[in-house]
Chains A and B, each alone.
Chain A
């Protein structure tokens, strides 16, 4: 005869697992739907059959051009950038155990932007060099923040303050580079200040796709350990986890995705910040948050891009919409954390 408590626990587990699967399926379905919408809508509407024949190369001029050279790269860039921002943001938030400790606030995305801008505007390098440089700059920024905030005793508050300072400096550098590079070119400037999918091209999206396809599974597999890391250093070590190795691997893969996504679309505001907490709300505690965070990221980027394109009389780049959505949530989160005294 089994202990009744055991049955309850087991049932709870099954329930949570079902919920996790259900939420992931729903998120996946909505992101697919958004992808289709990205392909179908634009200056003119194309039905699904026509898009299919355009993608397979059997369509006439107009549809083929619009779908293959504009909408498809845009959709791909949005999709993979969404995964990258969502997963990378979630990694930092989980590892540092604070939703405010995300790549946007800490200035990691700004570091990658600076490197990408230097490569593009001053040295006119190829996409590969831009990607590599932005990854290195992202890692350097992470390294710098940790070194500077180490001190005698680690404190997440100090880390965030140091991050805000670094972010301010890097933003000044971005303004400087933009002023020298493209003074009259407002679209470029907006892309680098807020993030935008305008002008996404297939060949510049390929490095992003490869990185996400390589790195996202690693983070997802390490996701279980990420959950253990969240319990704190001591519990993780006593559960037999090699904490430093796990951390380094997680930071490397996450920053790689984040940096290349930033180099491709610009720092799309607040996606890295929003995806983790939203995913956690949806799936609850106890299961890995990595995959749902990535899917929430996709949904956010694609939905925001569609809203920015069609909801208003002016076309807004995606970063403005995510900024408008994300910033109030940041303030709400701050108020809640202050009330609870957890800051």
Chain B
């Protein structure tokens, strides 16, 4: 019996490509940062970029453009990391490959609470947004999982996705109804409703940082227990994992991360789905590596989406949320096609 369990436990050694992947993704990350600083409505050349970065005392138009883009870039990296890890956690907690804050409707729940906060409680600061969004995300996550796991077959991907889509539709009608009757809410809300990192500033980043750190630390701490959970509840219990507790903590971390990101950037979808599947494809199923690496891939994906949005949408800009949905939805379709009928 002991032998059997040991065979099922993921191997302890590092995944084959870990070092290469780590180095490659860090290089990619740096390239993204440079590109994010350089591209936009106005292209900044390499020399101008260096001047803007290291000699802030020299005042010129392009250097102030670069300085404007610094917080935006950092914020998109952090937000992407949060969404990537959040998606990874939701996929492992629900044991469902098609999970992501936006697909499960958790983003819309956060959005509804922020709108309610603006409309009924006159909230206006980023910190207040975050708390409302986290409460909204949490309640929605519980609701969606509750509906999706009803019935004898448990929480199958199809049931969860449908519950998420239905809840999302219901909540977004409420959002529109509240917003339409109050112009001042609409003015405030329109900026983030589509999901964009464009409005970032240093204050926003500082408000966001504690939530990101707590969420990612919790995610890393639960990763090895989640590995055991992936083998089934019995095996996990046999290994001494308290399954209920681990699920709760991991789901809590996922909700904090996506709630905080949604509160500040607006509902950005599919980053979690893309980030986790990319890493699983390269690194395999060991969550102790895929969860932290999802943070990096999420950051890269969101930043690329933001840059792409600025290039496609110029002279204005296309919100990152639109771009990620456009890249991420085909992955959802692909996963649905590949799934076995029984496991739907």
Question: Which chain A residues have a beta carbon within 8 Å of chain B's beta carbons?
Answer: 100, 105, 148-149, 151, 153, 155, 157-158, 160-162, 164-166, 168-169, 171-173, 175-176, 179-180, 183, 186, 190, 193-194, 269-270, 312-314, 316, 320, 323-324, 326-328, 330-331, 334-335, 338-341, 343
Does A343 contact B158, Cβ atoms closer than 8 Å?
yes
Chain A residue numbers with a CB within 8 Å of B151 are 338-341, 343
In the bound complex, how far is the Cα of B151 from the Cα of A328, in angstroms? 19
Q: Are A313 and B341 also in contact (CB < 8 A) when A168-B332, A339-B151 are?
A: no
24 contacts between A and B (CB under 8 A): A100-B162, A157-B344, A158-B341, A162-B337, A165-B332, A168-B269, A168-B328, A168-B332, A169-B325, A169-B329, A171-B325, A172-B326, A175-B194, A179-B313, A180-B316, A193-B176, A314-B181, A320-B177, A327-B169, A327-B173, A328-B170, A331-B167, A339-B151, A343-B159
In the bound complex, how far is the Cα of B322 from the Cα of A172, in angstroms? 5
Which residue of A179, A180, A193 has the most chain B CB atoms within 10 A of its CB atom?
Answer: A179
A65 to chain B minimum Cβ distance, whole angstroms, is 27
Count contacts between A and B, CB distance < 8 Å: 142
Q: Does B106 contact A (CB under 8 A)?
A: no
Q: Does B333 contact A (CB under 8 A)?
A: yes
Chain B positions 309 through 339: 1 when the CB is less than 8 Å from some CB of chain A, otherwise 0: 0000100101100110110111011001101
Q: A179-B318, A327-B169 are in contact. List 10 more A-B contacts (CB 8 A).
A: A160-B158, A161-B344, A162-B333, A166-B329, A172-B325, A179-B313, A179-B322, A320-B180, A323-B169, A327-B173
Chain A residue numbers with a CB within 8 Å of B323 are 172
Chain B residue numbers with a CB within 8 Å of A186 are 186
Chain A residue numbers with a CB within 8 Å of B165 are 105, 164
User: Given B152, B176, B319, B326, which contacts A173 in the complex, CB threshold below 8 Å?
Assistant: B326
In the bound complex, how far is the Cα of B323 from the Cα of A247, in angstroms? 36
A325 to chain B minimum Cβ distance, whole angstroms, is 9
A151 to chain B minimum Cβ distance, whole angstroms, is 6
B98 to chain A minimum Cβ distance, whole angstroms, is 7
Question: Which chain B residues have a beta carbon within 8 Å of chain A's beta carbons?
Answer: 98, 147-148, 150-153, 156-159, 161-163, 165-167, 169-174, 176-177, 180-181, 186, 194, 269-270, 313, 316, 318-319, 322-323, 325-326, 328-330, 332-333, 336-337, 339, 341, 344
Chain B residue numbers with a CB within 8 Å of A105 are 165
User: Given A160, A173, A183, A194, which contacts B162 in the complex, CB threshold below 8 Å?
Assistant: A160
Does A176 contact B322, Cβ atoms closer than 8 Å?
yes
Does B170 contact A327, Cβ atoms closer than 8 Å?
yes
Q: Are A164 and B332 also in contact (CB < 8 A) when A183-B316, A338-B159 are?
A: yes
Chain B residue numbers with a CB within 8 Å of A148 are 333, 337
User: Given B163, B325, B344, which contacts A168 in the complex, CB threshold below 8 Å?
Assistant: B325
Which residue of A180, A323, A328 has the most chain B CB atoms within 10 A of its CB atom?
Answer: A323
B209 to chain A minimum Cβ distance, whole angstroms, is 29
Does B344 contact A158, Cβ atoms closer than 8 Å?
yes
Does B333 contact A166, Cβ atoms closer than 8 Å?
yes
Does A316 contact B180, Cβ atoms closer than 8 Å?
yes
In the bound complex, how far is the Cα of B33 from the Cα of A277, in angstroms? 52
Enumerate the 10 nearest inter-chain pairs by beta-carbon distance, A residue then B residue, closest first: A327-B170, A323-B173, A161-B336, A314-B181, A165-B333, A172-B325, A157-B344, A169-B329, A165-B332, A338-B150
Chain A residue numbers with a CB within 8 Å of B319 are 175, 179
Chain B residue numbers with a CB within 8 Å of A316 are 177, 180-181
A58 to chain B minimum Cβ distance, whole angstroms, is 38
B268 to chain A minimum Cβ distance, whole angstroms, is 11
A165 to chain B minimum Cβ distance, whole angstroms, is 4
Chain A residue numbers with a CB within 8 Å of B339 are 158, 161
Chain B residue numbers with a CB within 8 Å of A175 are 194, 319, 322
Does B336 contact A158, Cβ atoms closer than 8 Å?
yes
Does A165 contact B336, Cβ atoms closer than 8 Å?
yes
Chain A residue numbers with a CB within 8 Å of B158 are 157, 160-161, 343
In the bound complex, how far is the Cα of B323 from the Cα of A172, in angstroms? 7
Chain A residue numbers with a CB within 8 Å of B180 are 190, 314, 316, 320
Residue of B nearest to A269 (CB): B173
Does B177 contact A324, Cβ atoms closer than 8 Å?
yes
Chain A residue numbers with a CB within 8 Å of B326 are 169, 172-173, 176
In the bound complex, how far is the Cα of B98 from the Cα of A161, in angstroms? 10
Does A330 contact B173, Cβ atoms closer than 8 Å?
no
Residue of A nearest to B148 (CB): A338
Chain A residue numbers with a CB within 8 Å of B172 are 323
Residue of B nearest to A324 (CB): B173
Does A164 contact B161, Cβ atoms closer than 8 Å?
yes
Does B316 contact A179, Cβ atoms closer than 8 Å?
yes
Chain B residue numbers with a CB within 8 Å of A335 are 147, 150
In the bound complex, how far is the Cα of B102 from the Cα of A171, in angstroms? 13
Does A153 contact B341, Cβ atoms closer than 8 Å?
yes
B51 to chain A minimum Cβ distance, whole angstroms, is 33
In the bound complex, how far is the Cα of B194 from the Cα of A175, in angstroms? 8
Chain B residue numbers with a CB within 8 Å of A193 are 176
B335 to chain A minimum Cβ distance, whole angstroms, is 8
Chain A residue numbers with a CB within 8 Å of B186 are 186
